């Protein structure tokens, strides 16, 4: 899929670190990617590789202290968000960029009604009366498929199931027609059948509203369903970036390949699922050179001493490897 030239969001060499007693955690290290209007970018990677911190950095919601964005740019609509005042940032959050989270059981405030929490967002960013906001809220609840929305909007979150709560979160996130939605593992905490429903809902709404979506997951299967492009993240770095078809057919980076061989597939016969040797590196003292080298089957001397370049193997297919396109 091709998109208009000018990206909606462009991360340039973003660096976010946590200054803890044990040392500096380099959670996001030199991350760059682009996201266009109407595009869904999947951000995949193992637990702890920095996906959430990347998305929180975009909204400037990294818990500070100990966290701090130490470098780079977050260009959104041509503005560097990192330069903006907190006040201007607040106008962007929930209005131009919204976010939904992994665990719908804990991401709604238990002591306020759903109505209170949805309308709060609408009234914060739009100049509407209480009644208009309520109608809009009910409309949103209907849009995300909550039955009896008019009655249920008065309920407290604990009266909704996990899947319904995630729908409420989505309704809330979409209440101001944002240009971009960050979905941080929005289906991970749900039952499998409910996962599929919520995923379909996000996909449908994304198409209807022509939103850009940064879809975070550690599940490559989900990526196939929803994403246009994929960024694979490993230990704070983006190691491969390409479109969704290439990632399955011609993955380049050894980590991406290892990830793919570790999930079952319908279209290829594999006798055994692959396992990635070794453990996720700690981000206080990450491995030198290429961070993946201790676990990489192809690693050479060079990999442990020199940081690899971003190689554009084909147009819009980047691999962060010394041996890109040669393995």
By CB under 8 A, name the binding residues for another protein: 59, 61, 89-95, 98-99, 101, 103, 106-113, 120-121, 124-125, 156, 158, 169, 172
Cβ atoms 48, 7 nearer than 8 A = no
Cβ atoms 33, 41 nearer than 8 A = yes
Distant-in-sequence, close-in-space partners of 257: CB < 8 Å, separation ≥ 6 = 251
Of the pair 3, 156, the CB lying nearest another protein is at 156
Q: Please count the CA atoms within 13 angstroms of the CA of 304 that sit on its side-chain side.
A: 8
Site for ligand ATP in 263-302 (CB under 6 A): 283
Q: Please count the CA atoms within 13 angstroms of the CA of 281 that sit on its side-chain side.
A: 22
Q: Is the peptide bond before 66 cis (omega within 30 degrees of 0)?
A: yes
**Using the rule CB under 6 A, is 63 a contact of ligand ATP?**
yes
Q: How far is the CB of 215 from another protein (least distance, A)?
A: 16
Of the pair 15, 265, the CB lying nearest Mg ion is at 15
Cβ atoms 153, 141 nearer than 8 A = yes
Of the pair 38, 157, the CB lying nearest another protein is at 157
Tokens of 224: 């196939």
Number of residues in contact with ligand ATP under rule CB under 6 A = 17
Burial class (CB in 10 A: 0-12, 13-18, 19+), 81: buried
Of the pair 99, 212, the CB lying nearest another protein is at 99
Instruction: Name the one range near ligand ATP by CB under 6 A: 47-55, 139-147, 148-156, 204-212.
Output: 47-55
Instruction: Name the one range near Mg ion by CB under 5 A: 2-10, 50-58, 90-98, 282-290.
Output: 50-58
Q: How far is the CB of 282 from ligand ATP (least distance, A)?
A: 7
Instruction: Name the one range near Mg ion by CB under 5 A: 49-57, 119-127, 265-273, 291-299.
Output: 49-57
**Which among another protein, Mg ion, ligand ATP, none contacts residue 3 (Cβ within 5 to 8 A by kind)?**
none
**Which among Mg ion, another protein, ligand ATP, none contacts residue 124 (Cβ within 5 to 8 A by kind)?**
another protein
Of the pair 138, 172, the CB lying nearest another protein is at 172
Measured CA to CA, the distance from residue 240 to residue 251 in angstroms comes to 8
Using CB under 6 A, pick the residue from 11, 18, 242, 259 that binds ligand ATP: 18
**Using the rule CB under 5 A, is 52 a contact of Mg ion?**
yes
Q: How far is the CB of 16 from ligand ATP (least distance, A)?
A: 8
Q: How far is the CB of 7 from another protein (least distance, A)?
A: 22
Q: How far is the CB of 28 from ligand ATP (least distance, A)?
A: 7
Q: How far is the CB of 263 from another protein (least distance, A)?
A: 28
The residues that touch ligand ATP, with contacts defined as CB under 6 A, are 18, 20, 25, 27, 45, 47-53, 63, 66-67, 218, 283
**Residues found near Mg ion in the complex (CB under 5 A):** 52
């Amino acid at each position: 899929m091709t998109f208009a030239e000018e990206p909606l969001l462009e991360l340039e060499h973003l660096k976010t670190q946590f200054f803890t007693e044990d040392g500096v955690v380099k959670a996001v290290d030199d991350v760059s990617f682009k996201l266009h209007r109407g595009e869904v970018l999947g951000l995949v990677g193992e637990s702890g590789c920095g996906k959430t911190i990347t998305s929180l950095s975009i909204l400037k919601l990294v818990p500070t202290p100990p966290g701090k964005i130490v470098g780079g740019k977050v260009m959104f609509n041509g503005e560097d968000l990192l330069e903006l005042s907190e006040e201007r940032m607040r106008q962007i959050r929930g209005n131009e960029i919204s976010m939904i989270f992994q665990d719908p059981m804990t991401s709604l405030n238990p002591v306020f009604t759903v109505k209170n929490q949805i309308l709060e967002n609408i009234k914060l960013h739009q100049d509407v009366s209480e009644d208009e906001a309520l109608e809009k809220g009910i409309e949103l609840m209907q849009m995300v498929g909550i039955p009896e929305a008019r009655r249920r909007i008065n309920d407290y979150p604990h009266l909704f199931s996990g899947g319904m709560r995630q729908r409420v979160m989505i309704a809330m996130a979409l209440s101001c027609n944002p240009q971009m939605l960050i979905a941080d593992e929005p289906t991970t905490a749900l039952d499998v059948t409910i996962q599929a429903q919520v995923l379909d809902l996000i996909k449908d709404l994304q198409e209807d509203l022509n939103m850009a979506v940064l879809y975070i997951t550690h599940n490559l299967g989900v990526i196939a369903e929803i994403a246009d492009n994929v960024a694979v993240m490993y230990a704070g770095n983006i190691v491969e970036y390409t479109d969704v078809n290439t990632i399955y057919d011609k993955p380049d980076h050894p980590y991406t390949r290892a990830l793919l061989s570790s999930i079952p597939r319908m279209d290829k016969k594999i006798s055994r699922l692959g396992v990635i040797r070794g453990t996720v590196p700690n981000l206080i003292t990450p491995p030198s050179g290429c961070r993946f080298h201790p676990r990489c089957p192809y690693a050479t001397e060079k990999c442990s001493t020199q940081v690899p370049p971003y190689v554009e193997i084909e147009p819009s297919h980047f691999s962060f490897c010394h041996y890109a396109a040669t393995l």
